[in-house]
Amino acid sequence: MKRKYGGEFTVKDKILNRIKRSKVNVFIPSDFKGIATYPQVLRALKQLTDSKILIRLGYGAYAKADLNPFNNKIYPVDDNVSTAMELFKKLNVKWDYSKAVKDYNAGISTQVPVRNYIEIKDRFSRKLDVLGGAYVVR
């Protein structure tokens, strides 16, 4: 990453560089440990959210954002279920697919699940706004 002017990289530049190089799409502040202090990282993540590079999923949870050309709204790069699964993996939260999804995948049912529900097995009290009002809560 080249700077337009001389000088040191800012915290925002370092975090943006790490996000662009990363293969994962969901981030938590501890992913940027070693770059700066916790408040500085949160400030930089807020700036990246304001510039529509990241989207805030909930407290301490961010995802890479993509702009929808039809309505000019930003959405996570992955679908809701993949984004939630990746976040739960980062937070070490145990989860499983719902019974309807399991039955359909096993061929027991021909009913296509309308929504891919995820059952959360652990204690989890965060409210996640995965896609503009589609909340994932226990």
31 vs 138, higher pLDDT? 31
pLDDT band at 113 (very low <50, low <70, confident <90, very high): confident
Helix H or strand E encompassing 67 = strand 61-67
Cα–Cα distances (Å) from 115 to 21, 54, 101, in that order, read 32, 25, 9
Q: What is the pTM of this model?
A: 0.80
- pLDDT for 50: 93
- pLDDT for 132: 54
Per-chain mean pLDDT for the chain:
85
Q: State the average pLDDT over residues 109-115.
A: 83
What are the φ and ψ backbone dihedral angles of 19, each rounded to 5 degrees? -65, -45
Q: State the average pLDDT over residues 84-113.
A: 88
pLDDT band at 96 (very low <50, low <70, confident <90, very high): confident
CA separation for the pair 82, 136 (Å, rounded) = 12
